[in-house]
Amino acid sequence: MLIRYGYEITLTCQQPTALVCLLSVHEDRAADIRASETTFTTPDVPISNYRDLFGNRCRRLVAPAGDLTMCGDATIWDDGKLDRVLPDARELAVADLPDDCLVYLMGSRYCETDRLSQIAWDLFGTIPPGWGRVQAICDFVHDHIRFDYMQARSTRTAFETFNERVGVCRDFAHLAVAFCRCLNIPARYVNGHLGDIGVPVVDPMDFSAWMEVFLDCEWHTFDPRNNVPRIGRIVVARGRDATDIPLVNSFGPHILKGFRVWTYEVAS
């Protein structure tokens, strides 16, 4: 199937402000692009690109004083399959993990493993290691947190989410990531596009957050917010948590004036 995705984001700055934006599809889907991403800003400003420490595509620009609108639109091929479910996938001992997985065992800004470790072992320590234990974490987080856009807070951590029991998709992901790491299971935070293909339309279109967990020498998708396999995930960026991969990192104050995202299937 073909999926069209894109965004239109308008910021207002009081003075020229440097930005780093992570808005383009991740390089590992480059071969699937069918209509190359068209990007532009209004007004037109110079943009440079680089890759961060996690391999994500980043754009640098300076927003002028006043309004700046950033737009992107592309079409990607997708196999139309649901997220894989592999109940027999096993955990690896820490000593057997690849070196580049170790960073995803550590605590991070929004995933306080030190504050959640005992809670994690009390809740999940008796569950047999492997896919089933990760799914049990997702089941718990999905049931424990009430989804509420109006309660979104950019500073909410996994520990605060556990206690407040409310949040948005990033909070679901942060808590599940933190629980996995507490149990010595590498887990990384992911954001990207996820439309409503194959499911009823429930929420306004938005960027989404989920996690990937390292089992049986592979990274696997888990989504504690939706907690069911979905079709058509389009990864934009991966990192330790939302600190590493904000959609827009502003080096100065700004106001979000407009925000529109689209992800939908189109005819071949």
Specify the pLDDT at position 7. Answer: 96
- 225-253 confidence digits (pLDDT tens): 999 999 999 999 999 999 999 999 999 99
- The answer to whether 57 and 24 are in contact (CB under 8 A) is yes
- 74-93 confidence digits (pLDDT tens): 999 999 999 999 999 999 99
Distances (CA, A) of 220 to 44, 177, 180, 258: 39, 13, 13, 33
Specify the pLDDT at position 200. Answer: 81
Specify the pLDDT at position 202. Answer: 64
- The answer to whether 221 and 233 are in contact (CB under 8 A) is yes
Domains by residue range for the chain, with CATH: 2-80+247-266 (2.60.40.2250), 94-239 (3.10.620.30)
Specify the pLDDT at position 224. Answer: 98
Give 206's pLDDT tier (boundaries 50, 70, 90): confident
* Residue among 117, 124, 126 at smallest CA distance from 158: 117
